[in-house]
Chain A
Amino acid sequence: MNTPTLRAGPPALEITGVRKAYGSVQALNGLDFDIRQGEFFGLLGPNGAGKSTLISIISGLIRADEGHVRVLGHDTVTDWRAARRTLGVVPQELVFDPFFKVVDLLRIQAGYYGCGREVWPWIDEMLERLELGNKRTAMMRSLSGGMKRRVLIAQALVHKPPVVILDEPTAGVDVELRRTLWRFMRDLHAKGTTVVLTTHYLEEAQEMCERIAIVDKGRLRIVETTEGLLNRHPFRFLTLKLADGAAMPAHLAELVTSVKGDALELKLDRERHPIASVFAGLKAAGIEIADVSTREPDLEDIFVELTAKPAPGVVS
């Protein structure tokens, strides 16, 4: 996890009472939270939770029915030029303009933001950092999917925005690109850039993000530091292999959450089900243990726990 580099001033992103409906479907149902300057922030949620709708509202692609979004204090509707200048968004879809060479596309994108030749050295640096140096004069349509993804990332950063949103940037990309991307984003974050990440790879979020919001069915389920989120989980996991294929006693069987081959995973409440009580129960039933291991909960467990429960006020 990154070292916090929080800075004073208005929040990087202020999301206040944001609602959006598509017909009868309520995509966002009154979202309220802030992202502080200099944070590496994770925005998580299952498919259809409303993450992409929220990002589209922040970036001006979609208009909220109610509520406000401010980027570094600039309202995205009433002060949209300043808001957009401070924001860089890597879209989820692999979209590109087929008519241009990589370097021309990046210079054009910089120009849209009012940046001229002064950012050309930065463009060259990004091309090198994202390992696109030998593709600078290649036509966009000739690039592989991974290379196009790198260009998308460079496009979002071309005007050196202080706030960057990465919408599932590593979906379907190889390990090398992930490493390159995270190294690059860590460096930018260390220099003060606020980074907002959405991803379905929860281990990435756990490793990279200082604070995490979990959104489900258009509502904010929780916003918490990653560490706090992990600590608040009252469970731990115990994996057992029982000798001679013995069956789990009935009073312990209800704790089994998954079976993989002959390995049984039990979800134990730290207070109510100490590991010793499980061992004692097995011993009392005359069952021997062939193998044992324990696992602390990770973000995925917490994510499943939170998104499996119905959201407050939501009829499921």
Chain B
Amino acid sequence: MSPNQLGFYTLLKKEVMRFWSVLAQTVTAPVLTALLYLLVFAQALQGRVVTGYDGISYTQFLLPGLVMMTVLQNAFANTSSSLAQSKVNGNIVFLLMAPIGPVEMFLAYVGAALVRALLVALAMLAVAGPLVGLPIANPFALLAMFLLAGSALAVLGIIAGIVSTKFDHLAAFSNFIITPLSFLSGVFYSVHSLPPIWFTASHLNPFFYMIDGFRYGFFGHADVSIWLSLGWTAGFFVLMAVICLWMLFTGYKLRK
């Protein structure tokens, strides 16, 4: 392994160790929260909500959306909290003084966020999947949507971590961007059941395509074409990646 590769691998490992050292907070708690959503919403709305998917119960419809929502939130949380904490603590200097390049930083942070997101997704599916009886229609679509959407939110988390100079800023990102976009993305309902204005608005929300495309992987059909979902998610990822890499290369808010 070259010194540069070892630097990348070490940062990736360190970021995994960071969330691993507080696993109850970073994996167990979000899984539990998502399962509570599943339990409460399934109990309250099973049989009352038209999913628009033939032969698919509301609980089956709900689970993929909840898994993807949890993936998105945790991918974002992993990178944003790590960077913001390092900045506020001041220990980010040890990374910035090291011979680790912008691309290595980018890949290591995104890689660790994907590991956490994968653990969260697998834990949710392992617990709830057998109970709900979830089919898997297209594993490649599942994998592609997981990787693209998880990476996009991990990159957005890096951007938030770089921009934030205190934890209030990070909370604002989470409360005013991530949570509203997650909840208005069709996790709990089919967008076809919405009034026209909200139906149109949902189609401008990139999270909608991430969740819809992920759902396609399980059921083989979704509210919009899988290609449209892949296109929107890939486009969002590329946009975030360009902004993030520009920040890392120029040292925006990292190097004065």
Contacts and interface: CB of A to CB of B under 8 A. Distances in A.
Contacts of A112: 7, 10-11, 94-95, 98-100
A305 interface: no
Interface stretch (A60-68, A198-206, A226-234, A249-257): A60-68
Contacts of A93: 90
Given A95-B91, A98-B89, A63 B6 contact: no
Contacts of B29: none
A164 to B, nearest CB: 12
B17 A99 contact: yes
A85 interface: yes
B9 interface: yes
Contact of A113 (B1, B3, B9, B93): B3
Interface in B77-106: 86, 89-91, 93-101
Contacts of B91: 95-97
Given A61-B97, A111-B10, A95 B4 contact: no
Contacts of A91: 90, 93
A84 B101 CA distance: 11
A84 B102 CA distance: 14
**Which size bracket describes the interface of B in this complex?**
20 to 34
Interface residues of A, number: 31
A89 B98 CA distance: 10
A81 interface: yes
A176 to B, nearest CB: 25
B169 interface: no
A63 B2 contact: no
Interface string B59-73: 000000000000000
A17 to B, nearest CB: 19
Interface of B: 1-4, 6-7, 9-11, 13-14, 17-18, 21-22, 86, 89-91, 93-101, 251, 255-256
In the A-B complex, the 3 residue pairs with the smallest Cβ-Cβ separation, listed nearest first, are A114-B3, A111-B10, A95-B90
7 contacts: A61-B93, A63-B256, A84-B98, A85-B99, A99-B17, A99-B22, A109-B94
